[in-house]
Amino acid sequence: MPVVPISPDRPRLPAWFKRSLPDNAISAETNAIVRSHGLVTVCEEAACPNRQECWAKKAATFMLMGEACTRTCTFCDVKWTKTPPPLDATEPERLAAAIAELKLRFAVVTSVNRDDLADGGAPHFAATIAAIRARSPGTLVEVLTPDFRGNRESIDAVVRAHPDVYNHNLETIPRLYPTVRPQAKYQRSLDLLKQVKDSDPTILTKSGVMVGLGETDAEIRTLMDDLVRHRVDIFTIGQYLRPSLEHHDIIRFVTPEQFEIYKHWGKEAGFKYVASGPYVRSSYFAEEVMAGAIDMAAVRSPESGVRSH
């Protein structure tokens, strides 16, 4: 299991994390549009290391239903609260207007967890998908939803809105859930993904994990098999980067060579597409990932029923 040991005598990030970033001009334009519509992005709230690169391509992951979450996942930089504000009924239209202004061909929409709401905010997702389709009929939509505490009606409400990709991240292996995702359940997340595919086979399903939280490679390989058994099409895997000293420690840095092995394992397991690398996040280059999954599905099974989009 190739790893780089953590020690106080070495730089926090290994050499392979050094990269050049694009010019800020287009990134600033993206920022201005996001601000003008009063929107929240996970790029900022979760301190994503790819923010400048993505925003320079006018790609942002929009976050619905506020800036604070009702869960206490120890890897996440989004703020926690017991009492989130009421939902803003104008948000779906504002987000759709921003997507139209950015001329996005592919939009990624996620949210905080809203366990204070009986439906988890699922109708808000559905309204947002509808608003995007009304303003930008050619834009493909990926949603990255919470688990809605396993509420089947909430999951179906999002499925009926027909996102092109339905993403729900496992985040880590089941053994680490009590410390990494204390309010979540591994099997509940797997069941959600299967329900989506069972309800509408034309929707591409997607899930992702981080490495460096204390998992073993053998556990990652087992997790891949679990996802494939639950009919997940796309798998993403990247390095966990600690947002602050108050968050879960980085237990290991995984080498680029091992990420290539993960990619090979994922293809062996049966995913239509695998995105694997130190900087990979669930919505990183999401449009290219979806396109790759569609191409692979067509190669493997021309009669698969996956929409051509």
Read off the pLDDT of residues 187-219 as tens digits, 9 standing for 90 and up: 999 999 999 999 999 999 999 999 999 999 999
Please tell me the distance from the alpha carbon of residue 20 to that of residue 284, in angstroms, as a whole number: 17
pLDDT, position 194 = 98
3-state secondary structure of 287: helix
pLDDT above 70 (res 77): yes
Read off the pLDDT of residues 231-279 as tens digits, 9 standing for 90 and up: 999 999 999 988 888 889 999 999 999 999 999 999 999 999 999 999 8
pLDDT average, residue stretch 149-159: 98
Q: How far is CA 73 from CA 70, 247, 257, in A?
A: 10, 9, 29
Cβ atoms 207, 227 nearer than 8 A: yes
Query: What residues have CB less than 8 Å from 94, skipping those under 6 apart?
Result: 37, 38, 39
Percent of the chain at pLDDT exceeding 70: 74
**How deeply is 20 buried, as exposed, middle or buried, from its count of CB atoms within 10 A (0-12, 13-18, 19+)?**
exposed
Name the DSSP letter for residue 70: S
Residue 17 main-chain phi, psi, to 5 deg: -90, -5
Name the DSSP letter for residue 13: S
Cα 91 off chain centre by: 20
Pairing of strands 165-167, 140-144: parallel
Tell me the one-letter amino acid at 204.
Answer: L
Please tell me the distance from the alpha carbon of residue 70 to that of residue 121, in angstroms, as a whole number: 12
Please tell me the distance from the alpha carbon of residue 128 to that of residue 142, in angstroms, as a whole number: 11
Going from the N-terminus, what domains does the chain have, and what CATH number goes with each?
23-299 (3.20.20.70)
The model's confidence at residue 17, banded by pLDDT at 50, 70 and 90, is confident
Backbone φ/ψ region at 162: left (φ over 0), alpha (ψ -120 to 50), beta = left
pLDDT above 50 (res 1): no
pLDDT above 60 (res 280): yes
Tell me the one-letter amino acid at 98.
Answer: A
Please tell me the distance from the alpha carbon of residue 237 to that of residue 278, in angstroms, as a whole number: 8
pLDDT above 50 (res 308): no
3-state secondary structure of 41: strand
Query: What residues have CB less than 8 Å from 175, skipping those under 6 apart?
Result: 215, 219
pTM (2 decimals)? 0.86
pLDDT average, residue stretch 172-185: 98
Task: Spell out a b/e string for 248-287, using b for 16 or more CB atoms within 10 Å of the CB, else e.
Answer: bebebbbbeebbebbbebbbebbbbbbbbbbbbbbbbbbb
Element (H, E) at 62: strand 61-64
3-state secondary structure of 172: coil
User: How high does pLDDT run on average in the chain?
Assistant: 84
pLDDT, position 57 = 55
3-state secondary structure of 94: helix
Dihedral over Cα of 209, 215, 218, 223: its sign: negative
3-state helix, strand, coil in the chain (%, to 5): 40, 15, 45
